[in-house]
Amino acid sequence: MFAPRSGRYVLLGAGILLLWGVAEAVGWFPSRLWLAPFALALVLWAFLAWFFRDPERSVGEGIVSPADGRVLMVGAEGDRWQVAVFMNVTDVHVNRFPLDATVIAVTPAGAGFRPAYAPDAHHNQRLHYRLSTSIGPVEVVAMTGIVARRLVSFVAAGDVRGKGDRLGMIVMGSRVDVFLPKDRIVPLVVPGQRVRAGSTPIAREAP
């Protein structure tokens, strides 16, 4: 399964490669030198198809990770807990809702493309998803990096989604932060831990 809005491009590329391959097989091209660019195009298409993969997930317990990747930090910011997940190019890039929520707003902010793991990365171009949940206001922030230059939202203000549903996508890696009410949750992850979007619990409600 491919990420929302990406399947058409993957299938279009596959169609072009199929026609190119048929042309090669029946000798429509006057020189075998066309084989080299065809092989390169095939490799690039395979990477594209793999990059836009969007596997189904079994939804985990508690509050789940919004992104695949490695936990970059877990810390307090005022009255909220912040959990940051760094995504590299090999991770699934579709982000998911950490818990049942109503989308209050999707707001762009920031500028620049600093390394997503850098201390000043919070100034990068990003999308802020403000959510209303059973534990109070929650915010998910999708952030660009050096390579990641495109943020895609799958939702809009007023949408109601369940935990593990698709939220958006960052093209080519980068970082997703989630901010949770400090008095309502207990973090369950530590920096360096691998997590999977929609599946890995990152926090639980405080007793």
Query: How distant is the alpha carbon of residue 192 from its chain centre?
Result: 18
Name residue 185's beta-bridge partners: 205
Alpha carbons 174 and 168: distance in angstroms, whole number: 13
Helix (H, G, I), strand (E, B) or coil at 179: strand
**84 vs 180: CA distance, rounded Å:** 11
Spatial neighbors of 32 by CB under 8 A, at least 6 apart, are: none
Q: Token match 């100034």: residue? A: 123
Q: What is the DSSP letter of 60?
A: -
Catalytic residue among 65, 132, 174, 199: 174
C-alpha to C-alpha distance for 142 and 161, rounded to whole angstroms? 17
Residues forming a β-bridge with 186: 204
Per the annotation, the verdict on 174 as an active-site residue is yes
Write the CA distances from 161 to 72, 95, 98, 133, integer angstroms.
26, 13, 10, 10
Q: Which residues are catalytic?
A: 174
